C-alpha cells in the first residue's frame, strides 16, 4: 500500500508548555488508522497541525511524499486533507447543495449567477456515491445529526479529499446511524481514501480500524495492528502503568445520605432518573456525550422545569433556579468553562466573588476588605497561579481557570458538589490538584457527583459509578465490575 | 471598576479624557469667548441633560442592552408633572409623579425584555413610539405652560453661583459611580453583560438585574426631563426627541462596549462633555447648524475607530 501521509518528529509548545513531543504518525491509502489517547494527550493538536490550523515547531509532514506547507485550513484542503469535526460546521438554513459548495458555487461562466442545475446534479452524484438517498434541496437544519455528518463527508469528497479525519464521529449518532457510517467508511476505503479515526469507543475502533496509534501526554507511545492487539494493552498504553498514582483516591468515611433523586424527568432530556449520594462519597456518572449527563446536572441545579422529587439531607426540596440550588446546598461546576463557568471579561477576583457577593457585602455594598481576604485565601488554598487577583481571568491557563471555577463554589460551602467534566482541557499537574481537592472535600463530609467522559478518571476516583444512556441511568455498577467490563 | 487596571488599560481609558482636553485646548486658543466662566457653566448646563440620560444608558449598555425609549420617557413624565403643576398641584408632588412614572416606564421596558425575552432594541423601539404617542394624547399636542416659579429653581437656579443642573449632574454621578463600583448590584451588571449564562448559574437573578437597569434608565430620563421642563418653563410634547442618540453616543465615546461587560461611568461623563463642548464650540465659531451635525458625527466615528485600533 502506498503511504498517503507521514508525520515525523512533530513538536509543538504553547507558551512554553510542550503539548507534542517527537510525535510520529502515518497513513496509507485505503486505511483506517485510529488515533487514541486521553483528553489532553495531543490528538487534536496533532490533527490541527495536519490541517494547517496550527504550525508545528519542528518535524515534518509529508503528503504523498512531498513536504506539506499547509499554513491554513484552505491550503490543507487543497492538499486533500479534510476534517469532520465533532461539532458540525454547517449552516442550518441553507440547503444541502448550498452547504456542500459554500464559497465555491458553480456559476454560469463568469457572470456571478449560480448555476443551480449543475449544483444540484453535482451534489446528487456525491450523495449517491455515498449511497445516500437525500434530496439535495432540503435544508441541512432539518436533517438528523447523522445525516448532517454524511453531508459533511460528501462535501469533503467533493473537494477531492484523500485524507479524512473523523473526530469522534459517532459521539452523537444513534446505533443505526453508526452502522450506516461504518458502511460508508468501508466504501471510502475501497476508493482509496485514508481515514484517521479519533474515538474513545474501544469496540468501534476494533471493529473498523486497521492500525491504532496511541498518544499520551503529548508523546508517541506506539502503533499496533488492530488484529494483534488487545483492549488491555491499549488501556495500558493510554493511561500508563501508574493509574493508581494518577488517581490518588482516598476513601473517606461514608455517612448520611446527602442527595436523593426519585423519578427525575425533563421533557426530551431526562427520563426516570433515580439515585442517591452520601456524605463522603464520590459518585461517578459515566456515559457518552449527549446521553443527558450535563442535562441531569443542570436539572438538579434548577435550570429548566423538571418532574420528580429531589431530597437534600433527607428533606424534600423544590429547586427552580440556580439561586435556590445554592440555598439547598448544591454547587455545580459546569462542563463549559468559558460559556457557563466564567465571566471572561472580569478579573480572577470578581469571578471568585460572584456567587458569594451576598456574604461579602453589607447593605448591598461589597466589603472590599472581606472580598480581598476571601479571594487571597481561595487563591492560596487552590494554588491558582496568578500575578495578582485583579488579573483578567481569560489570561490564565485552562487548569488555573478551572481552579477559579471550583474556588468560586467552595466558599458557598456546598453539601453536594456536582462536577461536570472537571478535568477537561486541564494539564496533568492541575488534574492531580483537582483530585486532591476532591479528596479533601469528601473527607469533610461533602458528597460529590462527578460526571466524566474519561473512564480511567471515573474508575480511579469514584466510589460508585452510574452509567447514563439515552436520557436514563442504565445501570449502577460496582467499580470492580465495571473495571472488568472495560 | 470592573476591569483590571494594568498600565495599558489606564492608557486606553485615558483616551476619552485626552480627547476632551485636546478639544478644550484647541477651542480656547481659537476662540477667546470659550474659556470664560459664563460659557463653561453654560456648556455644563447643556451637558447635564444628556449626562443624566447617559448615566442610566451606561447601566443598560453594560448589561449588553440598549434603551431607545429615554427621549419619550422624558416627554411623557414631564408632561405628567407639568400637567399637575399647571392645574395648581404641588411642585414637589409633581416631581415625585414624574420620577415614579419614568421609573415605571423603564420597568415596563425591563419586564418586556427580561420576562418577554424581546430584544432590547425592538422592545424599546416599540415603547419609544408608545410613550411618545401617549404624550401627544395627554398634551393634545400642545405645550403645557404656566408652571410655578418655585419649579424654575431646579433648572434655572444657582447654588453658590453654580447652575443647579450642574449640581444635579455631579450628585447623580457620585451616587451612580458608587453603585456601579461598590455594590453587589454593580458587580452583577458587569457580570451579566460579560456572560449571562455564567451569571445565572452563579445564582444571580439575572432577570431582576435586567429589569432594574431599565428602571434606572427610566428614572434618570425622568430626572433629566424635570430639569429640561424647568429650564424651558414648559413641557413640550416633542421634548427629548432623538435624545437617546446623544446619550448612546456619550456612552460609546466614553469607552463602554456596546456588547456589554466592559466600561465605566466616568467615561460616560467625559463623553457627554465632549459632545456638549463640541456643540458649544461650533456655535461659537459660527459654524452653520447643518455642518455641525456632520462634524459631530465625524468626531464620534473617529473616536470609536481610534478606540478599535487600540484594542487590537
Q: B119: number of CA atoms within 13 Å, CB side? A: 3
Three cell numbers, residue B19: 480627547
Q: Which residue of B has its CA nearest to A298?
A: B201
Of A325, A326, A342, the CB nearest to B198: A342
Residue B191 touches chain A, beta carbons under 8 Å: yes
Three cell numbers, residue B218: 427610566
* Alpha-carbon torsion, ordered B211, B215, B217, B223, to 10 deg: -170
Residue B131 touches chain A, beta carbons under 8 Å: no
Nearest to B151 by CA among B102, B89, B63, B203: B89
Q: Which residues are bridge partners to A83 per DSSP?
A: A165
Look at the block and give the residue holding cell 415605571: B104
Q: Which residue of A has its CA nearest to B202?
A: A355
CB atoms B195 and A339 under 8 Å: yes
Q: Which residues are bridge partners to A283 per DSSP?
A: A449, A464
Q: At what angle do helices A398-410 and A368-382 cross, to 10 degrees?
A: 130
Burial of A249 (0-12, 13-18, 19+ CB in 10 A): middle
Residue A365 touches chain B, beta carbons under 8 Å: yes
Q: A460: number of CA atoms within 13 Å, CB side? A: 21
- pTM passes above 0.90: no
Distance separating alpha carbons of residues A146 and A402, to the nearest angstrom: 32
pLDDT at A236: 79
CATH 3.40.50.300-classified regions of chain A: 3-239, 257-485
Average pLDDT rounded to a whole number, residues A460-486: 61
Distance separating alpha carbons of residues A241 and A286, to the nearest angstrom: 22
CB atoms B4 and A390 under 8 Å: yes
pLDDT by 10s per residue, chain B, length 312? 334 444 445 556 677 888 888 888 888 888 888 888 888 888 898 899 999 999 999 999 999 999 999 999 999 999 999 988 888 888 889 999 999 999 999 999 999 999 999 999 999 999 999 999 999 999 998 899 888 888 888 888 888 888 889 999 999 999 999 999 889 899 999 999 988 888 888 888 899 999 999 999 999 999 999 999 998 888 899 998 889 999 999 998 888 888 888 888 999 999 999 999 988 888 888 888 888 889 888 887 887 777 666 544
Contacts of B199 in chain A (CB under 8 A): 343, 354
Residue B261 touches chain A, beta carbons under 8 Å: yes
Closest chain B C-alpha to A332 CA, distance in angstroms = 8
Give the tens place of pLDDT for each residue, A148-184.
888 888 888 888 889 999 988 887 777 777 888 898 8
Beta carbons within 10 angstroms of residue A224's beta carbon: 19
What is the distance, to the nearest Å, from the Cα of residue A249 to the centroid of all Cα atoms in its chain? 23
Distance separating alpha carbons of residues B80 and B144, to the nearest angstrom: 10
Three cell numbers, residue A390: 485583579
CB atoms B190 and A339 under 8 Å: no
Three cell numbers, residue A220: 508517541
- What DSSP state is assigned to residue A139? B
Query: Which of A329, A336, A357, A358 is the best residue to mutate to test the B interface, defined by the most B CB atoms within 10 Å of its own CB?
Result: A357
Residue A75 touches chain B, beta carbons under 8 Å: no
Render the burial of A57-72: b for 16+ CB within 10 Å, e for the rest: eebebebeeeebebee
Q: What is the largest CA-CA distance in chain A?
A: 77
Give the tens place of pLDDT for each residue, A381-412.
888 888 888 888 887 777 788 888 888 888 88
Closest chain B C-alpha to A324 CA, distance in angstroms = 7
CATH code of the domain made up of A3-239: 3.40.50.300
Look at the block and give the residue holding cell 456589554: B260
Closest chain B C-alpha to A145 CA, distance in angstroms = 25
Burial of A110 (0-12, 13-18, 19+ CB in 10 A): exposed
CATH code of the domain made up of A257-485: 3.40.50.300
Are residues B142 and B82 in contact, defined by beta-carbon separation less than 8 angstroms? no
ipTM, 2 dp: 0.77
Look at the block and give the residue holding cell 506506539: A222
Amino acid at each position: 500500500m502506498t503511504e498517503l501521509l507521514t508525520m515525523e518528529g512533530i513538536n509543538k509548545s504553547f507558551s512554553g508548555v510542550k503539548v507534542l513531543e517527537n510525535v510520529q504518525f502515518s497513513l496509507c491509502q485505503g486505511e483506517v488508522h485510529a488515533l487514541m489517547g486521553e483528553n489532553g494527550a495531543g490528538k487534536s493538536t496533532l490533527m490541527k497541525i495536519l490541517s494547517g490550523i496550527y504550525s508545528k515547531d519542528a518535524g515534518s509532514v509529508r503528503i504523498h511524499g512531498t513536504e506539506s506547507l499547509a499554513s491554513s485550513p484552505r491550503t490543507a484542503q487543497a492538499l486533500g486533507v479534510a476534517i469532520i469535526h465533532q461539532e458540525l460546521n454547517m449552516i442550518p438554513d441553507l440547503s444541502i447543495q448550498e452547504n456542500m459548495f459554500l464559497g465555491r458555487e458553480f456559476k454560469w461562466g463568469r457572470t456571478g449567477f449560480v448555476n443551480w442545475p449543475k449544483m444540484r446534479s453535482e451534489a446528487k452524484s456525491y450523495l449517491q456515491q455515498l449511497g445516500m438517498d437525500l434530496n439535495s434541496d432540503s435544508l441541512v437544519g432539518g436533517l438528523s445529526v447523522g445525516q448532517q455528518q454524511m453531508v459533511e463527508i460528501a462535501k469533503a469528497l467533493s473537494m477531492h479529499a484523500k485524507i479524512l479525519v473523523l473526530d469522534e464521529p459517532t459521539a452523537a449518532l444513534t446505533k443505526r446511524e453508526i452502522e450506516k457510517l461504518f458502511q460508508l467508511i468501508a466504501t471510502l476505503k475501497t476508493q482509496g481514501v485514508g481515514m484517521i479515526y479519533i474515538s474513545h469507543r474501544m469496540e468501534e475502533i476494533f471493529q473498523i480500524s486497521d492500525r491504532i496509534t496511541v498518544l499520551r501526554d503529548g508523546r508517541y507511545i506506539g502503533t499496533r495492528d488492530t488484529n494483534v492487539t488487545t483492549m488491555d494493552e491499549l488501556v495500558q498504553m493510554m493511561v500508563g502503568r501508574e493509574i493508581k498514582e494518577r488517581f490518588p483516591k482516598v476513601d473517606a468515611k461514608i455517612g448520611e445520605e446527602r442527595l436523593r433523586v426519585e423519578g427525575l424527568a425533563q421533557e426530551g432530556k431526562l427520563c426516570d432518573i433515580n439515585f442517591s449520594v452520601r456524605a463522603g462519597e464520590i459518585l461517578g456518572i459515566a456515559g457518552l456525550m449527549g446521553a443527558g449527563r450535563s442535562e441531569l446536572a443542570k436539572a438538579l441545579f434548577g435550570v429548566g422545569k423538571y418532574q420528580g422529587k429531589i431530597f437534600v439531607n433527607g428533606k424534600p426540596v423544590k429547586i427552580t433556579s440556580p439561586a435556590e440550588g445554592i440555598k439547598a446546598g448544591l454547587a455545580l461546576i459546569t462542563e463549559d468553562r468559558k460559556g457557563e463557568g466564567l465571566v471572561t471579561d472580569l478579573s480572577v477576583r470578581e469571578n471568585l466573588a460572584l456567587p458569594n457577593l451576598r456574604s461579602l457585602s453589607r447593605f448591598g455594598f461589597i466589603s472590599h476588605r472581606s472580598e480581598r481576604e476571601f479571594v487571597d485565601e481561595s487563591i492560596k488554598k487552590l494554588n491558582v497561579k496568578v500575578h495578582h487577583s485583579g488579573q483578567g481571568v481569560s489570561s490564565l491557563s485552562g487548569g488555573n481557570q478551572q481552579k477559579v471555577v471550583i474556588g468560586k463554589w467552595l466558599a458557598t460551602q456546598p453539601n453536594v458538589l456536582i462536577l461536570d467534566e472537571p478535568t477537561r482541557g486541564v494539564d496533568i499537574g492541575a488534574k492531580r490538584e483537582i483530585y486532591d481537592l476532591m479528596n479533601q472535600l469528601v473527607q469533610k463530609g461533602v458528597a460529590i457527583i462527578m460526571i466524566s467522559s474519561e473512564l480511567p478518571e471515573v474508575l480511579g476516583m469514584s466510589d460508585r459509578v452510574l452509567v447514563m444512556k439515552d436520557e436514563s441511568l442504565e445501570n449502577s455498577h460496582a467499580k470492580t465490575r465495571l473495571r472488568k467490563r472495560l | 471598576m470592573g476591569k483590571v487596571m494594568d498600565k495599558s488599560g489606564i492608557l486606553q481609558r485615558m483616551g476619552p479624557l485626552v480627547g476632551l482636553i485636546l478639544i478644550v485646548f484647541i477651542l480656547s486658543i481659537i476662540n477667546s469667548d470659550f474659556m470664560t466662566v459664563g460659557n463653561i457653566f453654560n456648556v455644563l448646563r447643556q451637558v447635564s441633560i444628556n449626562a443624566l440620560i447617559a448615566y442610566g444608558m451606561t447601566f443598560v449598555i453594560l448589561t449588553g442592552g440598549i434603551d431607545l425609549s429615554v427621549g419619550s420617557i422624558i416627554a411623557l413624565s414631564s408632561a405628567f408633572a407639568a400637567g399637575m403643576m399647571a392645574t395648581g398641584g404641588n411642585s414637589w408632588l409633581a416631581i415625585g409623579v414624574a420620577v415614579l412614572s419614568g421609573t415605571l416606564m423603564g420597568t415596563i421596558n425591563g419586564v418586556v425584555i427580561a420576562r418577554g425575552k424581546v430584544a432590547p432594541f425592538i422592545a424599546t423601539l416599540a415603547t419609544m413610539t408608545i410613550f411618545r404617542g401617549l404624550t401627544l394624547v395627554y398634551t393634545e399636542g400642545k405645550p403645557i405652560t404656566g408652571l410655578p416659579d418655585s419649579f424654575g429653581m431646579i433648572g434655572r437656579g444657582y447654588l453658590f453661583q453654580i447652575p443647579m443642573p450642574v449640581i444635579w449632574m455631579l450628585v447623580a454621578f457620585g451616587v451612580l459611580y458608587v453603585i456601579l463600583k461598590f455594590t453587589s448590584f454593580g458587580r452583577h451588571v458587569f457580570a451579566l453583560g460579560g456572560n449571562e449564562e455564567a451569571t445565572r448559574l452563579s445564582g444571580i437573578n439575572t432577570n431582576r438585574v435586567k429589569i432594574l437597569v431599565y428602571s434606572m434608565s427610566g428614572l434618570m430620563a425622568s430626572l433629566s426631563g424635570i430639569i429640561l421642563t424647568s429650564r424651558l418653563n414648559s413641557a413640550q410634547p416633542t421634548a427629548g426627541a432623538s435624545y437617546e442618540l446623544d446619550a448612546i453616543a456619550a456612552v460609546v465615546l466614553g469607552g463602554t462596549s456596546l456588547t456589554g461587560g466592559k466600561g465605566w461611568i466616568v467615561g460616560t461623563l467625559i463623553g457627554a462633555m465632549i459632545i456638549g463642548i463640541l456643540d458649544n464650540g461650533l456655535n461659537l465659531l459660527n459654524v452653520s447648524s447643518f455642518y455641525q451635525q456632520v462634524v459631530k458625527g465625524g468626531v464620534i466615528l473617529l473616536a470609536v475607530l481610534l478606540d478599535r485600533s487600540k484594542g487590537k
